[in-house]
């Protein structure tokens, strides 16, 4: 009998990415969008990109890197790069406890202040909004809280992302079941209508929201955004290194009106990034106050 091992499958699929090529690709990605890929992810990156490299008819990563850097069409390749390295996981009413805390302790007081000043306007920035579930969720919360009064208000919820396909999906406003996995059934029934391929967000909600293609690495573009009372940036800075986190958080700071709040993802904090905000602890959530 033969017990000697037979390796009938080979893990390696295509040409290897060399250390040198990996570093170049990593640095290129970092320079473009601030997403930091550490060395441990080398094979993951190889795995993600080798299909793209082959599809372009290239044999090596060096060829691909040259293409990214010097080709006349290099900018057209960027969206493909971003698709390969970003994750767009999101859903409506994600982190309900945090949203409740936001509603009760931030949104309601802000609305009251605005009413007192007779200024019926509110502006929120959803930075890294993916396919739009987060900004639409905020719009639904506002619709719930303002009711018929909504007509009086000028609400602007600005969703931004680096991913063009995600923004296109957001603008279409049509979602499949997965988007509702964290959503109370009543909300789906109230604010969506069944359509071919899923459920479409109601115009009353979507009219509060607009979408814009924006790279959080682009300081100038961020300066041009209207000032907000609240910035949501959830589950985005986790992909950045400290330098890039500092950069975007300082852009959020500049964008916020005095007394405005920054809301990060459930497990994200400003530790080691900035002391410019004061953390406010609410049951189930922390929000950062620009003081």
Partner 1 sequence: MPTIGINELKPGVIVAEAVVSRDGRVLLAAGGKVEARHVALFKGLGVSGVVAAGGAGGAHDEAAAGYVRDYFVFLNPDSPVVNELFSYAAQAVARRMESGWTLPSLAERRAENVEHLSDVLPMETADPDKIVDHEVQLASFPDVYFKLRQEMDSPTGSVQSLAEIITRDVSLTAKLLKLANSPIYSLPEPVESIARAIAVIGTNELSTLALGVSTINYFKGIPKELIDMAAFWRHSVSCAIFAHILAKALGEQNTERFFIAGLLHDVGRLILFKEMPYASSEALLHARENSLPIVEAERAMLGFTHTDLGRSLLARWDFPPQITVLVNQHHDPMSAPSPREAAIVHLADFFANVAGVAAGWLYVLPPLDEKAWELTGLPPSSARRVMSDFESQAEKTFSAFF
Ligand X SMILES: C[S@@+](CC[C@H](N)C(=O)[O-])C[C@H]1O[C@@H](n2cnc3c(N)ncnc32)[C@H](O)[C@@H]1O
At 278, list the tokens: 């004061």
* 3 state SS of 261: strand
Quote the least distance from Cβ 281 to partner 1, whole Å.
Answer: 6
> Up-side HSE of residue 160: CA atoms within 13 Å toward CB?
21
Cβ atoms 270, 279 nearer than 8 A: yes
In the chain, the DSSP E strands lie at 121-127, 154-161, 174-175, 192-195, 198-201, 209-213, 228-233, 256-264, 277-282, 285-290
Q: Please state, in angstroms and rounded to a whole number, the distance separating the CA atoms of residues 199 and 192.
A: 6
Per-residue H/E/C for 141-162: HHHHHHHHHHHHCEEEEEEEEC
User: Within positions 226 to 245, which residues make up the interface with ligand X, using CB under 6 A?
Assistant: 234-236, 239
Residue choice 114, 182, 212, 215 for contact with partner 1 (CB under 8 A): 182
User: Within positions 78 to 107, which residues make up the interface with partner 1, using CB under 8 A?
Assistant: 87, 89, 93, 95-97
Residue choice 19, 47, 115, 164 for contact with partner 1 (CB under 8 A): 47
* 3 state SS of 244: helix
User: Within positions 262 to 281, which residues make up the interface with partner 1, using CB under 8 A?
Assistant: 265-269, 271, 279, 281
Residue choice 215, 253, 268, 289 for contact with ligand X (CB under 6 A): 215
Helix (H) or strand (E) holding 112: helix 108-116
Residue choice 152, 181, 189, 223 for contact with partner 1 (CB under 8 A): 181
- Interaction between residue 157 and ligand X (CB under 6 A): no
String of contacts with ligand X for each residue 79-118, x by CB under 6 A: -------xxxxx---x------------------------
Residues that bind partner 1 (CB under 8 A): 1-13, 16, 40-41, 43-44, 47, 87, 89, 93, 95-97, 178, 181-182, 238, 265-269, 271, 279, 281, 283-286
Residues that bind ligand X (CB under 6 A): 33-35, 86-90, 94, 128-130, 134, 161-163, 166, 215-217, 234-236, 239, 265
């Amino acid at each position: 009998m033969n017990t000697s091992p037979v390796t009938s499958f080979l893990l390696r699929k295509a040409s290897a990415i060399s250390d040198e090529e990996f570093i170049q690709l990593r640095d290129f990605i970092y320079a473009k969008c601030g997403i930091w890929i550490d060395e441990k992810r080398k094979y993951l990156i190889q795995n993600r990109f080798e299909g793209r490299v082959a599809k372009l008819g290239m044999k090596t990563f060096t060829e691909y890197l040259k293409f990214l850097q010097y080709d006349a069409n290099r900018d057209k390749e960027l969206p493909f790069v971003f698709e390969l390295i970003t994750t767009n996981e999101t859903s409506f009413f994600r982190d309900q406890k945090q949203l409740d805390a936001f509603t009760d302790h931030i949104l309601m007081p802000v609305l009251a202040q605005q009413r007192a000043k007779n200024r019926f306007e509110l502006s929120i920035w959803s930075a890294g909004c993916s396919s739009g579930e987060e900004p639409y969720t905020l719009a639904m919360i506002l619709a719930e809280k303002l009711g018929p009064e909504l007509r009086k208000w000028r609400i602007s919820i600005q969703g931004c992302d680096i991913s063009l396909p995600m923004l296109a999906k957001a603008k279409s406003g049509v979602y499949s079941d997965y988007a509702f996995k964290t959503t109370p059934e009543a909300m789906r029934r109230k604010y969506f209508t069944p359509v071919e391929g899923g459920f479409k967000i109601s115009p009353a909600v979507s009219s509060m929201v607009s979408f814009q293609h924006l790279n959080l690495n682009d300081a100038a573009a961020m300066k041009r955004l209207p000032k907000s009372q609240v910035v949501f940036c959830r589950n985005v800075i986790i992909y950045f290194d400290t330098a890039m986190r500092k950069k975007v958080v300082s852009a959020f700071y500049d964008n916020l009106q005095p007394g405005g709040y920054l809301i990060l993802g459930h497990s994200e904090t400003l530790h080691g990034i900035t002391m410019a905000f004061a953390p406010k602890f609410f049951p189930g959530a922390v929000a950062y106050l620009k003081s």
